Amino acid sequence: MGNTAADFLVAAEEKAFDTRHRGIINFNIGKYDASVARGLSRIANLDNAKKRGHVIKWRVMENLDKFLPEFEANFQRRGGKVIWANDAAEAQREILNIVKKTGAKSVIKSKSMVTEEIHLNEFLETNGVESLESDLGEYIVQLLGQKPYHIVTPAMHLSKEDIAKLFHEKFGTPPDATPEQLAQKARELLREKYLQADIGVTGANFLIADTGSIAVSENEGNARLSTTFPKIHIAIVGIEKMIPSMADLDLYWPMLSTHGTGQNLTVYNTILSGPRQADETDGPEEMYVILLDNGRTNLLAQKEQREGLYCIRCGACLNACPIYKNIGGHTYNTSYSGPIGSVITPHLRGMEEFKHLSNASSLCGKCSEVCPVKIEIHKMLLLNRRDAVKDGLVTTKEKWGWGIWKKGMMKRGTMDLFGGKMKNYLMRRFFKKTWGHYREMPVVADKSFAKQWQERQNNNTAE
């Protein structure tokens, strides 16, 4: 077992028995569940909408080699510049080239998971460039020196008291400040930064092939501010975010917002098609779109698992997942946590190091049930497990363990070979330290169900 997997087990056990963490998460996800249930009830034919979303994404992934050049040509036609980045290091280098070329000293960022994926903030700061998050949740976790906890709600693991304490320590606000007062303080601090920033950085929820545009959904307006004041706008987007036409937003915008937060639509939905044109009054002088691969073509090459690229990053599967709700987002040690993160991370960052995430699942299927584009997430997790075994990435100890387990389970006689006392002894001897550290070990009955049934039937016949 690699260090990543070992660290995961330690962190997972710690979080699973942290009652305060459990209380905060259950409270926040409970509010989300109520809101989403109301939102979904307003969709006339939810299953049909999901099927449409799935089919469009299937078409995109089967023809990505055609849609990407189409997007590039249409975006360049309006003066935009497209940069192709094979990995995180290449994306970082390209951004640094733009920074150096323009002499930029500061960057303002809107919420973007792909910038977390390439560790942009840390990279820019090591190169002497201030990089500030403008989304309130992202800003809070940046102040704490943490990573986002959730794809949609970065500070979901914090209570309002935690945030009030943080702002009191950092900015001297009252320790009992209300959420409204805290948001107002963040606005005051950030407004000046928008005006000063040399470069605005965003992600994008969708790349639109037929118009060469990017679509950005948000609730706070920070993406609009990040793309309006700075002279240069850089959008970093995974190649899987492609959709064929602007008309498809009619489906994807409501599905994203309803599954993400329960809203009919997010407050701000923006379509950006390049830098400021001659007849326009605002917008950046230069606009770049960095199309990031970073392992996505590895997943695209997997015919059975490329479905993982259909994801529109709504976060619904995280909120539904019993594992995520118990062990939290940071435990996964990856930008994309929860069920979908467990599917795609082994392909984006290496099966050998991250195969353990595909085992961190109860396979209850709730993630597949809630997915707005019908990704069979639980099936993908099983396929990842299969591939890890097929590629010889499991330990000899694990192979032997499952081999013995299979042999025992295939035949009733073998299962009954050891009585209940022996089974209980073996469990205490070999699993008490790992499985039973915080839990009571289960007790196996002295006789198996089959044996008890057989004896009962014999007694009934005798009578």
To which H or E segment does residue 27 belong?
helix 19-41
**Same domain for 275 and 424?**
no
- How far is residue 132 CA from its own chain's centroid? 21
Q: Which of 236, 267, 294 is the last residue of a domain?
A: 294
DSSP SS3 for 394: coil
What is the rounded distance in angstroms from the CA atom of residue 153 to the CA atom of residue 136? 10
Query: In this structure, what token pair is assigned to residue 162?
Result: 């935690």
**Same domain for 266 and 120?**
yes
**Same domain for 72 and 190?**
yes
User: Over the stretch 342-357, which tens digit does the pLDDT of each residue have?
Assistant: 999 999 999 999 999 9
Indicate whether 58 belongs to any domain: yes
Give the bridge partners for 132, in sequence order.
108
What is the rounded distance in angstroms from the CA atom of residue 319 to the CA atom of residue 341? 13
Query: In this structure, what token pair is assigned to residue 297?
Result: 């073509």
User: Over the stretch 23-66, which tens digit does the pLDDT of each residue have?
Assistant: 999 999 999 999 999 999 999 999 999 999 999 999 999 999 99
Indicate whether 189 belongs to any domain: yes
Name the DSSP class of 211.
T
**What does the buried/exposed string (b/e) look like for 87-105 if buried means 16 or more CB atoms within 10 Å of the residue's CB?**
ebebbbebbeebbeeeebe
Indicate whether 6 belongs to any domain: no
Residue 296: closest CA among 81, 65, 51, 50: 65
Q: What's the whole-model pTM score?
A: 0.91
CATH number of the structural domain spanning residue 211: 3.40.50.10420
Question: What range defines the domain where residue 451 resides?
Answer: 396-462
Q: Looking at residues 302-310, what average pLDDT do you find?
A: 95
Indicate whether 365 belongs to any domain: no
Residue with tokens 């078409």: 59
Residue 291: closest CA among 118, 140, 437, 160: 118
Q: Which of 294, 310, 339 is the last residue of a domain?
A: 294
Indicate whether 385 belongs to any domain: no
- Residue type for position 312: I
Indicate whether 381 belongs to any domain: no
Indicate whether 124 belongs to any domain: yes
Domain total of the chain = 2
Please give the biggest Cα pair distance in the chain: 98
Query: In this structure, what token pair is assigned to residue 379?
Result: 């099936």
Tally Cβ neighbours within 10 Å of residue 234: 28
Provide the edge-to-edge strand list for the sheet that holds 199-202: 81-85, 286-292, 232-238, 199-202, 106-109, 130-133
**Same domain for 98 and 231?**
yes
Q: CA of 381: how far to CAs of 13, 127, 314, 432, in Å?
A: 21, 38, 19, 27
pLDDT of residue 2: 55
Q: Which of 245, 275, 294 is the last residue of a domain?
A: 294
- Residue type for position 317: C
Q: At residue 197, does pLDDT exceed 80?
A: yes
**Same domain for 284 and 405?**
no
pLDDT of residue 413: 78
Q: Report the mean per-residue pLDDT for the chain.
A: 93
